[in-house]
C-alpha cells in the first residue's frame, strides 16, 4: 500500500504491516468506547490511514461511516447526527470543516486527527492524535466473531429527494461484492497489478477497491489529496500503476494534462470509468491515443456499488475500432450475483431486445435492503427488487444501456412557493460530462424567472447540486400514470 500522505511524503508499507497497525487501531477504538454496532465517522482522503480505519472499525464489529467533505456543512452535520457517530476521524484538511459544524454535533465524543504529533493542529475541538493512539497499543489483537450480516460500513447517498439516506453494508455483502469485483470480467484483480483508486473512499467505499486489494494482494496506490494532473501522473508513473479507477471528470482533467505536457502513464493498461458515463471522445482518447483500455462500469451507492461492467464479448473483439468504442458507451452486463429486469410504468417486465426501455430493477446479495434508521426504510419491493431510477434498454447479450433517469424529478414538496412542477434532466457538459438542467412549471397565475429559482438554492445545498440553468415552461410532458416523460424533455432540451 503506497499512499501520498496529507502531510506530504509518500508512505509505503506491506499488507502485513498494515495489518499490525490495524490491530493497534482496533485496541484504540475499544478504549475510546467504541462497541459492536457503533458508528465511527471518517472525513478523509484516500490514504493508508483511511484503509486502516476500514479494516479496524469493521473488523472489531463497529460501522465505518465515511463522509463526503464536499457536502454542504448543514448536510454534513445532519449526517453525523443521524448516524450518531460516536467518534470521528478527520484528515488535517478537514479540521476546519468539523470546527464549522461542531456546535451542531450532539453525539460525537471524540475527534481523532489522522496525523502524527508533529502535525497536530491547534483547534478548539477535543482532538486526539491518530499516531499517538496507535503508538500506545499492542500489535496483537484477536478479532471478535459475529454474525456475517453485521453492518460493516455506512455511506449516505445524497439521492435526489429529501434528506440523505444511509446505506448500510454488511460483512457478508462486502465479501460477496469483493469476490465479484475481483473477477476476471470485472477488475481481474491479482498481485501482478497495481491499482490507483481516484474514486474517493468516502464514495461507496472507493467502489470496494480497498477490499479487493486485500483479497487478492494487488498493490494499492492511494493519491491522498493530490488529485490534480501533475500529482496523479507523478504517482502513477513512480508506482507503475496498471489500473486506475474514477469518474469522468477526473479523467477529463488528466487527459488534458497529458496532452498539454505530452506525457502519459505507459504502465497503465486499464482505466475504470464509473459514476457517470464516459462520452465517446473520452473512450477514443484513452484507447486510441494512449493505449489504455476503458472499462465502463455502472453501479449505485445502494449496490455496494457494482452492477454492470462493460467488457467486450469475444465476438466483439474483431469489430472495427469505431464499433468497439461505440459499444463501450453501454454500461455493460450484470456482474455475477446481480439480477436485472426492466419494467414499464405498470411494472410489467419488458423484453431484453435492446429496444424496449423501462426502469431498471436489480436484485442481489449486495443490493441494499433498507436504509439506516428511517421509517419506511424498505429499499426494495417484497420480491427483493430495487428500483434504480435508471431508464435503460438491455440487449439480447445482456448489455445495459442507460437512456435516462426516471428518479431525477425534484419532489420539492412546495418548498419553492411559486413552482407547481419541476423536473431535472442531464445535459451534456464538456467538463463535467453531464450537468443538471432544471425545468419548472410555475403555479397558476405565478410568474417566475430563472434567476429567482437559482437564488432559492443559495445556502441550502452544495454548490455542485445547483442547476446551471433553469427553463420555465407551461407544462411538463406526462405519461399515462402521471409521471414526467423525461425522454421527451431530453429530446427537446438536452441536445441544445
Residues of the shown chain interacting with a second copy in the complex, contacts defined by CB under 8 A: 176, 179-180, 182-185, 188-192, 215-217, 311, 313-314, 317, 336
Record the cell numbers describing residue 4, joined without a space: 501520498
Q: Which is nearer to a second copy, 314 or 459 (CB)?
A: 314
Q: Which is nearer to a second copy, 339 or 455 (CB)?
A: 339
Q: Which is nearer to a second copy, 202 or 211 (CB)?
A: 211
What is the smallest separation between the CB atom of 384 and a second copy, expressed in angstroms? 10
What is the smallest separation between the CB atom of 185 and a second copy, expressed in angstroms? 5
Q: Which is nearer to a second copy, 47 or 170 (CB)?
A: 170
Residue with cell 470496494: 208
Distance CA 160, CA 178 (A): 28
Q: Which is nearer to a second copy, 143 or 465 (CB)?
A: 143
Name the residue among 135, 128, 92, 122 with its Cα closest to residue 108. Answer: 128
> Which one-letter DSSP state was computed for residue 347?
S
Q: Which is nearer to a second copy, 399 or 456 (CB)?
A: 399
Q: Which is nearer to a second copy, 183 or 379 (CB)?
A: 183
Q: Which is nearer to a second copy, 230 or 240 (CB)?
A: 240
What is the smallest separation between the CB atom of 189 and a second copy, expressed in angstroms? 6
Q: Are 157 and 164 in contact (CB under 8 A)?
A: yes
What is the smallest separation between the CB atom of 215 and a second copy, expressed in angstroms? 5
Q: Are 309 and 328 in contact (CB under 8 A)?
A: no
Terminal-residue alpha carbon distance, the chain: 46
β-pairing, 399-405 with 386-394?
A: antiparallel
What is the smallest separation between the CB atom of 209 and a second copy, expressed in angstroms? 15
The angle formed by the CA atoms of residues 90, 93 and 99, to the nearest 5 degrees, is: 65
Q: Are 400 and 308 in contact (CB under 8 A)?
A: yes
Q: Which is nearer to a second copy, 336 or 464 (CB)?
A: 336
What is the smallest separation between the CB atom of 400 and a second copy, expressed in angstroms? 16
What is the smallest separation between the CB atom of 2 and a second copy, expressed in angstroms? 15
User: Taking the CB of residue 305, how many other CB atoms lie within 10 A of it?
Assistant: 26
Q: Which helix (H) or strand (E) holds 431?
A: none
Residue ranges of the alpha helices (H) in 389-494?
450-457, 486-489
DSSP three-state, residue 250: helix
The angle formed by the CA atoms of residues 342, 345 and 351, to the nearest 5 degrees, is: 30
- Spatial strand order in the sheet of 151-157: 127-129, 110-113, 87-90, 39-43, 63-66, 151-157, 165-170
Q: Which is nearer to a second copy, 82 or 330 (CB)?
A: 330
What is the smallest separation between the CB atom of 191 and a second copy, expressed in angstroms? 6
What is the smallest separation between the CB atom of 298 and a second copy, expressed in angstroms? 19
What is the smallest separation between the CB atom of 385 and a second copy, expressed in angstroms? 14
Q: How far is CA 89 from CA 32, 84, 99, 117, 311, in A?
A: 12, 14, 13, 15, 38
DSSP three-state, residue 429: strand
Amino acid at each position: 500500500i503506497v499512499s501520498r500522505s496529507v502531510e506530504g511524503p509518500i508512505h509505503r508499507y506491506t499488507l502485513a504491516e498494515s495489518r499490525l497497525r490495524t490491530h493497534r487501531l482496533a485496541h484504540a477504538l475499544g478504549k475510546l468506547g467504541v462497541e459492536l454496532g457503533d458508528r465511527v465517522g471518517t472525513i478523509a482522503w484516500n490514504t493508508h490511514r483511511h484503509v486502516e480505519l476500514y479494516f479496524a472499525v469493521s473488523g472489531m464489529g463497529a460501522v465505518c461511516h465515511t463522509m463526503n467533505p464536499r457536502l454542504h456543512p448543514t448536510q454534513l452535520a445532519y449526517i453525523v447526527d443521524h448516524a450518531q457517530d460516536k467518534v470521528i476521524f478527520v484528515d488535517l484538511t478537514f479540521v476546519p470543516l468539523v470546527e464549522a459544524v461542531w456546535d451542531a454535533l450532539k453525539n460525537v465524543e471524540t475527534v481523532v486527527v489522522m496525523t502524527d504529533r508533529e502535525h497536530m493542529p491547534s483547534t478548539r475541538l477535543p482532538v486526539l492524535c491518530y499516531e499517538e493512539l496507535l503508538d500506545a497499543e499492542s500489535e496483537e489483537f484477536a478479532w471478535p466473531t459475529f454474525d456475517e450480516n453485521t453492518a460493516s460500513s455506512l455511506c449516505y447517498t445524497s439521492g435526489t429527494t429529501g434528506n440523505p439516506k444511509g446505506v448500510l453494508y454488511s460483512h457478508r455483502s462486502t465479501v460477496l461484492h469483493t469476490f465479484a469485483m475481483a473477477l476476471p470480467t470485472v477488475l481481474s484483480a491479482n498481485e501482478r497489478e497495481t491499482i490507483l483508486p481516484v474514486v474517493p473512499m468516502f464514495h461507496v467505499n472507493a467502489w470496494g477497491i480497498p477490499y479487493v486489494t486485500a483479497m487478492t494482494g494487488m498493490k494499492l496506490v492511494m493519491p491522498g489529496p493530490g488529485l490534480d494532473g501533475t500529482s496523479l501522473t507523478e504517482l502513477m508513473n513512480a508506482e507503475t500503476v496498471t489500473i486506475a479507477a474514477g469518474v469522468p471528470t477526473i479523467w477529463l482533467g488528466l487527459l488534458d494534462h497529458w496532452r498539454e505536457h505530452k506525457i502519459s502513464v505507459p504502465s497503465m493498461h486499464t482505466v475504470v470509468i464509473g459514476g457517470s458515463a464516459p462520452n465517446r471522445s473520452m473512450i477514443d482518447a484513452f484507447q486510441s491515443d494512449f493505449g489504455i483500455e476503458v472499462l465502463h462500469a455502472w453501479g449505485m451507492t445502494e449496490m455496494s456499488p457494482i452492477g454492470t461492467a462493460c467488457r467486450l464479448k469475444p465476438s466483439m473483439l474483431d469489430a472495427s475500432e469505431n464499433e468497439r468504442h461505440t459499444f463501450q458507451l453501454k454500461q455493460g452486463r450484470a456482474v455475477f450475483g446481480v439480477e436485472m429486469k426492466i419494467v414499464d410504468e405498470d411494472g410489467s417486465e419488458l423484453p431484453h431486445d435492446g429496444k424496449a426501455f423501462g426502469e431498471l430493477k436489480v436484485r442481489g446479495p449486495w443490493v441494499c435492503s433498507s436504509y439506516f434508521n428511517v421509517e419506511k426504510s424498505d429499499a426494495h419491493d417484497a420480491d427483493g427488487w430495487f428500483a434504480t431510477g435508471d431508464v435503460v434498454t438491455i440487449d439480447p447479450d445482456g448489455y445495459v444501456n442507460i437512456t435516462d433517469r426516471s428518479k431525477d424529478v425534484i419532489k420539492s414538496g412546495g418548498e419553492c412557493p411559486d413552482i407547481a412542477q419541476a423536473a431535472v434532466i442531464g445535459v451534456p457538459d464538456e467538463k463535467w460530462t453531464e450537468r443538471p438542467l432544471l425545468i419548472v412549471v410555475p403555479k397558476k397565475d405565478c410568474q417566475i424567472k430563472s434567476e429567482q429559482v437559482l437564488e432559492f438554492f443559495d445556502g441550502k445545498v452544495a454548490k455542485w447540486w445547483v442547476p446551471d440553468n433553469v427553463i420555465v415552461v407551461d407544462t411538463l410532458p406526462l405519461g399515462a400514470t402521471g409521471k414526467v416523460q423525461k425522454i421527451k424533455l431530453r429530446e427537446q432540451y438536452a441536445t441544445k
